[in-house]
């Protein structure tokens, strides 16, 4: 039998290759291409911190029995990953070089420490002394002392050759609280940019002025450490925050999983580093160029060059949803659908702000996962608590890489009198729900919203997510049951409308798939459309293979990992998999079942991954209102017909672009136009 599943780690690397395609695409504005380089690098950092680290643990385990297959397979997979990463890293360097050449044609120049002009020296010295020097952490390395290299930071390894022929090694951390790129004063029409790395190199004589050296050289390196941890067994008590903080601190000194280094680094210096960092034989050593930590390109300055950026599109209003009027009153009459970034996220914040001062609102309950660093959502909830509302917040302290921010936010909420829930043992709370209780005519009435994305103003500008605003009491009573489950751990409930993990999602979705199989066998047209970030659950892959073999048409729109192999006759002849990577991050999860012509449409917080189905609290919500159901289906249709930014996923994972003879449809552009037409009609 042929290969049945695509390896999830290799599939993820193919997704990141799609991001890199955007960086290489000459139709993408130049500065946006730089930002895609940053996204590619950021993705790769997280991959090594989490996925690679997990595989490495398996590879490093000493087999209790001879010929441990998992151990051998993991070692082979590490080799495959490393080869693929080196290839992608080399491609990214070539693309970056190409972008820099194109920028020169636009009179934008990167210069290094050897290219400084005479009239720039004073500016750079002043900038170094005032801005950079106070933030520098410089560590003299010692053969007799153990040094901690914090995770995911870039360093300069400095080698000083002293006049007495001895060597001193030092580490200089690249400051993270200063922009990596310094815009120098213009010279005529020419705009010069310099990495702070090179400004540091240019001033090494100041940093190490008290050493009697004959030669000094500096090379870049970046260490990535294992960021995965398992806290299922910790005591969910008053010490929970302290436990999370301990794990966050432990991450900074955890096992190294990758060393990216300047390939021009001298052999003795590299050998010294490998020994110092305790790199094992299975760690990933990635040779690179002069500059690392390319994540910083995500925040590359705009340089007042709008012609080198995507045109700014103003977020749209939602038709008939008047943000300056009472939003709860409007929701009491009908449901509304927000699709960010096409619609303004201000509706969600305004609803919370209005609820905070509405005398009829008695309570607000909400789940929070990832938050903006300066969150208006949080200020609205604090405002509500100060106005005497009963505010309950489930805040997920285990949201990876957001733990410290969420701890800080939880302390602010607690100080304002907000009731907090920190989680359930063994489960992350990933649902995106809010419940508002209001007294109308002496009766309790529920309002709320359910979303596919985090309640985060920053990511809402670039992540595509659906949010349903509703006063449907049947749906909201079930949202109340979810909060009851969160407050009173493992108090089980039945649901007729929502699909809720961890206890119901698999069974409910299997029922819906079985219904499509049943209809297909009867000769009734059957179809399943799933829009997901990732698809890794083998039991769902197998179920879709079964449906495909019975004649159900299956369309998968998957941004990231996909373990299902489409277009293999023995498995999936009726399945197509497409992936759109463009300006915005395709983040919404949507499930659609043909249901004999009476389509069932759900928006969800859950991907079809084992962790989402079995180890998280997730909520999928049906869209009942006909006009909103049509909007969701129309946007899926637009995405499915994209022939500009769609890649086809197949058994070879070639990421080939979909091209046909039809008029060009760039789905994200068309989606904006679609909602603009709805607004204006």
Output helix, strand, coil percentages for the chain, rounded to the nearest 5. Answer: 40, 25, 35
Which residues are catalytically annotated? 430
With CA atoms as reference, report the closest residue to 517 among 506, 507, 528. Answer: 528
Burial class (CB in 10 A: 0-12, 13-18, 19+), 642: buried
Task: Report CA 337 to chain centroid distance, whole Å.
Answer: 23
3-state secondary structure of 185: coil
3-state secondary structure of 406: helix
Query: CB neighbours (10 Å) of residue 145?
Result: 9
Exposure string (b/e) for 384-414, b if CB count within 10 Å is 16 or more?
bbeeebebbbbbbbbbeebbeebbebbeebe
Cα 225 to Cα 167: distance, rounded to the nearest angstrom:
28
The residue to which tokens 């005529």 are assigned: 188
- 8 Å CB contact between 550 and 571: no
18 phi/psi in degrees, rounded to 5: -70, -35
- Residue 511, CA distances (Å) to 434, 501, 543, 621, 624 in order: 27, 15, 11, 16, 19
With CA atoms as reference, report the closest residue to 450 among 492, 389, 497. Answer: 497
Cα 344 to Cα 384: distance, rounded to the nearest angstrom:
22
* For residue 341, cis peptide bond before it (omega within 30 degrees of 0): yes
Q: Which two tokens stand for residue 342?
A: 């096409």
Show the DSSP H helices in 433-585 as ranges.
Answer: 473-487, 505-521, 538-549
What is the 3 state secondary structure string of 19-46? HHHHHHCCCCCHHHHHHHHHHHHHHHHH
* For residue 679, cis peptide bond before it (omega within 30 degrees of 0): no
Dihedral (CA of 393, 398, 402, 408) sign: positive
Query: CB neighbours (10 Å) of residue 304?
Result: 9
């Amino acid at each position: 039998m042929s290969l049945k599943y695509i390896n999830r780690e290799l599939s993820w690397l193919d997704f990141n290759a799609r991001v890199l395609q955007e960086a290489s695409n000459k139709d993408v504005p130049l500065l946006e291409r730089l930002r895609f380089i940053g996204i590619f690098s950021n993705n790769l950092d997280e991959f090594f911190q989490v996925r690679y680290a997990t595989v490495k643990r398996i590879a490093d385990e000493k087999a209790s029995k001879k010929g441990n297959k998992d151990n051998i397979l993991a070692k082979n997979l590490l080799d495959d990953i490393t080869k693929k990463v080196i290839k992608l890293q080399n491609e990214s360097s070539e693309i970056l070089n190409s972008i820099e050449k194109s920028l020169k044609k636009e009179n934008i120049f990167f210069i290094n420490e050897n290219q400084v002009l005479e009239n720039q020296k004073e500016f750079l010295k002043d900038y170094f002394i005032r801005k950079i020097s106070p933030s520098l952490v410089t560590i003299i390395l010692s053969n007799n002392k153990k040094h901690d290299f914090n995770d995911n930071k870039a360093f300069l390894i400095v080698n000083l050759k002293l006049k007495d022929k001895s060597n001193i090694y030092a580490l200089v951390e690249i400051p993270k609280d200063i922009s990596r790129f310094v815009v120098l004063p213009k010279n005529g029409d020419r705009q010069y940019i310099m990495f702070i790395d090179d400004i540091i190199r240019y001033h090494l004589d100041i940093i190490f002025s008290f050493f009697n050296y004959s030669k000094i050289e500096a090379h870049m390196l970046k260490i990535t450490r294992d960021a995965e941890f398992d806290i299922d067994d910790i005591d969910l008590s008053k010490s929970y925050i302290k436990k999370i903080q301990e794990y966050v601190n432990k991450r900074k000194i955890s096992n190294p999983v990758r060393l990216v280094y300047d390939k021009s680094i001298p052999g003795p210096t590299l050998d010294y580093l490998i020994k110092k960092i305790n790199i094992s034989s299975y760690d990933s050593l990635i040779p690179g160029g002069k500059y690392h930590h390319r994540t910083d390109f995500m925040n590359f300055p705009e340089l007042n060059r709008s012609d080198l950026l995507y045109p700014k599109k103003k977020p749209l209003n939602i038709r008939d949803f008047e943000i300056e009027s009472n939003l709860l009153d409007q929701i009491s009459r009908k449901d509304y659908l927000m699709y960010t970034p096409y619609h303004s996220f201000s509706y969600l914040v305004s609803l919370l702000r209005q609820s905070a001062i509405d005398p009829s609102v008695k309570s607000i309950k909400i789940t929070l996962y990832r938050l903006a660093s300066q969150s208006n959502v949080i200020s609205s909830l604090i405002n509500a608590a100060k106005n005497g509302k009963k505010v309950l917040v489930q805040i997920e302290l285990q949201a990876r890489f957001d733990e410290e921010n969420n701890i800080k936010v939880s302390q602010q909420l607690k100080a304002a009198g907000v009731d907090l829930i920190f989680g359930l043992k063994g489960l992350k709370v990933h649902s995106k729900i809010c419940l508002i209780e209001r007294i109308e005519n002496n009766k309790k009435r529920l309002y709320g919203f359910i979303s596919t994305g985090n309640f985060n103003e920053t990511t809402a500008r670039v992540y595509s997510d659906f949010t349903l605003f509703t006063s449907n009491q049947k749906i909201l009573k079930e949202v109340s049951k979810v909060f009851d489950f969160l407050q009173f751990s493992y108090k089980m409930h039945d649901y007729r409308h929502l699909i809720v993990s961890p206890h119901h999602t698999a069974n409910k979705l299997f029922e819906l798939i079985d219904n499509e199989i049943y209809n297909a066998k009867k000769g009734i047209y059957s179809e399943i459309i799933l829009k997901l970030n990732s698809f890794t659950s083998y039991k769902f892959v197998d179920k879709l293979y079964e449906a495909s073999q019975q004649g159900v048409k299956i369309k998968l729109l998957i941004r990231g990992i996909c373990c299902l192999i489409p277009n293999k006759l023995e498995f999936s002849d009726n399945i197509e998999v497409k992936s759109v990577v463009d300006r915005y991050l395709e983040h919404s999860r949507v499930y659609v079942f043909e249901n004999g012509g009476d389509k069932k449409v759900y928006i969800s917080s859950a991907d079809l991954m084992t962790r989402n189905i079995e180890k998280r609290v997730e909520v999928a919500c049906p869209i009942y209102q006909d006009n909103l159901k049509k909007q969701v289906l129309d946007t899926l249709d637009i995405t499915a017909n994209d022939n500009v930014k769609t890649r086809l996923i197949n058994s070879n994972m070639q990421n080939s672009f979909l091209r046909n003879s039809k008029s060009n449809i760039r789905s994200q552009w068309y989606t904006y136009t679609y909602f603009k037409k709805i607004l204006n009609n």
